[in-house]
Structure 1
Amino acid sequence: MSSLTPPQAPPSWSFTNEEILSKTEQYIKEGKELDDLIASKLDAPTIDNVFKPFVEFGNRYDGLINQLTFLQHVSSDSKLRDSSLAAEEKIREFGIESGLRVDVFKVFNKLWTENENNDKLNHETKKYLKKINTEFKRNGLNLPEETREEIKKIQKELSTLSLQFSKNLGENVDFIKFTKEELNGVPSDVVDQFDAIEEDGVTYHKMTFKYPDLFPVLKYSKDPNTRKRAFLGDQNKVPQNEELLKNSVILRDELSTILGYDNFANYILEEKMAKNSTIVFKFLNDLQEKLQPLGAKEIEILKDLKKDELQLPKHNEVDYFVWDHRYYDNLYLEREFQVNQEAIAEYFPLKTTIAKMLNFYEKLFNLKFVESETTSAWHEDVKQFAVWQLDGESPEFKGWLYMDLHPRDGKYGHAANFGLYSGFSDFNETRNYPVTALVCNFSKPTKEKPSLLKHDEVVTLYHECGHGLHDILGNVQYAKFHGPSASKWDFVEAPSQFLEYFCWSKDLLKSFSNHYKTNEQLPDDLTESLIKSKHVNGGLFNLRQLHFGLFDMKLHTSKTEVDISKLWNKLRQEIALVSNGNEISKGYNSFNHIMGGYQAGYYGYLWSQVFAADIYYTLFKNNENDLAKSGKKYRDIILARGGAYDENDNLKELLGRDPNNNAFSQELGLEN
Structure 2
Amino acid sequence: MVVHLQRAAKGAALAFRRTPAEIAAAASALIHRERQAHDEVAAQRSPTFANTIARLARLENDTNAESSVITFLQNVDTDKHVRDASSAAEQALRTSRMALLMREDVYRPVKAVLDDAAALAALDPEDRALAEKMAREYRRNGLGLDADTRKELERIRTRLIAVGIEFSRNINENDGRLLLSRAELDGLPDDYFSGRPTETADGVERFAVTTKYPDLVPAMQLARREDTRRRLQAMTESRCPENIPLLQEAVRLRLAAARLLGYETHAQFVLEDNMARRPEAVLEFQHGLREQLGPLADKELGEMEALKRADKEAAGEPYEGLFQWDARYYANLVKERRHSLSEEEVKQYFPVAQVTRGVLDIYQETLGLRFVRVDGPAVWHPDVEMYEVWEAAGDAFVGHFYLDLFPRDGKYNHACVCPLRAGCERPDGSREYPAAAMLANFPKPTPAAPALLTHDDVITLLHEFGHVFHHLCARTRWAHFALDSVQMDFVEAPSQLLENWGWEPAVLRRFAVHHKTGEPIPEDLVARLVAAKNEGSGLFNLRQIFFGLYDMALHSTRDPDVDVAARFSELREQITRLSAGGAGAGSGGAATFGHLLGGYDAQYYVYLWAKVFSADMFASRFKRDGLGCAQTGLDYRREVLAPGGSRDAMASMERFLGRRPDHRAFLESIGLAQ
Which category of TM-score, normalised to the shorter sequence, fits these structures? over 0.9
> How much has 1:318 moved relative to structure 2?
5.0
Partner of 1:167 in structure 2? 169
Instruction: Give percent identity, aligned residues only.
Output: 35
Partner of 1:60 in structure 2? 62
TM-score (norm 2): 0.96
Partner of 2:515 in structure 1? 516
User: What do residues 225-266 of structure 1 show as CA deviations (whole Å, max 9, x unaligned)?
Assistant: 000111121122111100100000000010111111010000
- Which residue, out of 186, 210, 213, partners 2:212? 210
Quick one: structure 1 residues 297 and 2, their matched pair in 2 at CA, closer, same or farther if it must change by over 3 Å?
closer
- Counterpart of 2:331, as a letter, is D
- Counterpart of 2:424, as a letter, is F
Partner of 1:481 in structure 2? 481
Partner of 1:548 in structure 2? 547
Decide whether the 8 Å contact of 2:8 with 2:374 is kept in 1. no
Decide whether the 8 Å contact of 1:398 with 1:473 is kept in 2. yes
Q: How many aligned positions are there?
A: 667
- Which residue, out of 80, 90, 93, partners 2:92? 90
> How much has 1:311 moved relative to structure 2?
3.0
Decide whether the 8 Å contact of 2:58 with 2:478 is kept in 1. no
Quick one: structure 1 residues 116 and 580, their matched pair in 2 at CA, closer, same or farther if it must change by over 3 Å?
farther
The answer to which structure, 1 or 2, has the higher relative contact order (CA under 8 A, 6+ apart) is 2
Matched, 1:31 2:31: no
Structure 2 residue runs of 5 or longer lacking an equivalent are none
CA distance in 1, matches of 2:326, 2:120: 62
> How much has 1:267 moved relative to structure 2?
0.3
Decide whether the 8 Å contact of 2:398 with 2:472 is kept in 1. yes
> How much has 1:338 moved relative to structure 2?
1.2
- Counterpart of 2:345, as a letter, is A
Decide whether the 8 Å contact of 1:10 with 1:400 is kept in 2. no
Partner of 2:633 in structure 1? 631
Partner of 1:503 in structure 2? 502
- Counterpart of 2:487, as a letter, is K
CA distance in 1, matches of 2:673, 2:626: 26
Decide whether the 8 Å contact of 1:194 with 1:213 is kept in 2. no
CA distance in 2, matches of 1:300, 1:333: 14
Matched, 1:250 2:249: no
CA distance in 1, matches of 2:490, 2:237: 28
- Counterpart of 2:507, as a letter, is L
CA distance in 2, matches of 1:293, 1:553: 24
Partner of 1:194 in structure 2? 196
Matched, 1:419 2:407: no
Within 5 A, what are the aligned runs for 1:617-656? 617-624=619-626, 626-656=628-658
Matched, 1:471 2:471: yes
- Counterpart of 1:643, as a letter, is G
Answer with 132-141 or 190-199: which moved more.
190-199
Quick one: structure 1 residues 311 and 469, their matched pair in 2 at CA, closer, same or farther if it must change by over 3 Å?
same
- Which residue, out of 6, 11, 29, partners 1:8? 11
Root-mean-square deviation over aligned CA pairs: 1.7
CA distance in 2, matches of 1:173, 1:606: 28
Partner of 2:532 in structure 1? 533
CA distance in 2, matches of 1:471, 1:181: 47
Decide whether the 8 Å contact of 2:107 with 2:143 is kept in 1. yes
CA distance in 2, matches of 1:662, 1:252: 36
CA distance in 2, matches of 1:630, 1:221: 45
Decide whether the 8 Å contact of 2:178 with 2:209 is kept in 1. yes
Quick one: structure 1 residues 154 and 310, their matched pair in 2 at CA, closer, same or farther if it must change by over 3 Å?
same
CA distance in 1, matches of 2:176, 2:505: 40
Quick one: structure 1 residues 116 and 218, their matched pair in 2 at CA, closer, same or farther if it must change by over 3 Å?
farther
CA distance in 2, matches of 1:6, 1:407: 26
> How much has 1:197 moved relative to structure 2?
1.1
Partner of 1:573 in structure 2? 573
Within 5 A, what are the aligned runs for 1:375-524? 375-391=377-393, 394-482=394-482, 484-524=483-523
User: What do residues 421-449 of structure 1 show as CA deviations (whole Å, max 9, x unaligned)?
Assistant: 00011232110000100000011112221
User: What do residues 372-396 of structure 1 show as CA deviations (whole Å, max 9, x unaligned)?
Assistant: 01111000000000001123xx221
- SS of the aligned residue for 2:666 comes to helix
User: What do residues 281-339 of structure 1 show as CA deviations (whole Å, max 9, x unaligned)?
Assistant: 111110111111210111001111112222369xx965111100111111111111111
- SS of the aligned residue for 1:311 comes to helix
CA distance in 2, matches of 1:652, 1:380: 44
Partner of 2:262 in structure 1? 260
CA distance in 1, matches of 2:53, 2:575: 49
CA distance in 2, matches of 1:625, 1:111: 47
Partner of 1:273 in structure 2? 275
- SS of the aligned residue for 1:215 comes to helix
Decide whether the 8 Å contact of 1:6 with 1:397 is kept in 2. no
Partner of 2:139 in structure 1? 137
Matched, 1:591 2:597: no
Partner of 2:154 in structure 1? 152
TM-score (norm 1): 0.97
Answer with 116-125 or 84-93: which moved more.
116-125
Matched, 1:286 2:292: no
Quick one: structure 1 residues 554 and 116, their matched pair in 2 at CA, closer, same or farther if it must change by over 3 Å?
farther
- SS of the aligned residue for 2:489 comes to coil
Decide whether the 8 Å contact of 1:338 with 1:526 is kept in 2. no
- Counterpart of 2:301, as a letter, is I
> How much has 1:174 moved relative to structure 2?
2.8
- Counterpart of 2:388, as a letter, is A
- Counterpart of 2:544, as a letter, is Q
CA distance in 1, matches of 2:336, 2:58: 57
CA distance in 2, matches of 1:512, 1:19: 43
User: What do residues 151-172 of structure 1 show as CA deviations (whole Å, max 9, x unaligned)?
Assistant: 0000001000000001101111
- Counterpart of 2:409, as a letter, is D
> How much has 1:191 moved relative to structure 2?
2.3
- Which residue, out of 340, 346, 349, partners 2:348? 346
Partner of 1:49 in structure 2? 51
> How much has 1:623 moved relative to structure 2?
3.8
- SS of the aligned residue for 1:207 comes to strand
Decide whether the 8 Å contact of 1:470 with 1:642 is kept in 2. yes
> How much has 1:125 moved relative to structure 2?
0.9
Decide whether the 8 Å contact of 1:116 with 1:126 is kept in 2. no
Matched, 1:310 2:312: yes
- Counterpart of 2:27, as a letter, is T
- SS of the aligned residue for 1:621 comes to helix
Decide whether the 8 Å contact of 2:389 with 2:399 is kept in 1. yes
- Counterpart of 1:468, as a letter, is V
- Counterpart of 1:186, as a letter, is L
CA distance in 2, matches of 1:537, 1:440: 24
> How much has 1:37 moved relative to structure 2?
1.1
CA distance in 1, matches of 2:302, 2:85: 52
- Counterpart of 2:414, as a letter, is H
- Counterpart of 2:433, as a letter, is Y
Answer with 578-587 or 420-429: which moved more.
578-587
Decide whether the 8 Å contact of 1:386 with 1:400 is kept in 2. yes
> How much has 1:53 moved relative to structure 2?
2.5
CA distance in 2, matches of 1:578, 1:2: 49
Structure 1 residue runs of 5 or longer lacking an equivalent are none
CA distance in 1, matches of 2:117, 2:13: 38
User: What do residues 191-231 of structure 1 show as CA deviations (whole Å, max 9, x unaligned)?
Assistant: 23431012343322111110000111101111000001111
> How much has 1:173 moved relative to structure 2?
3.4
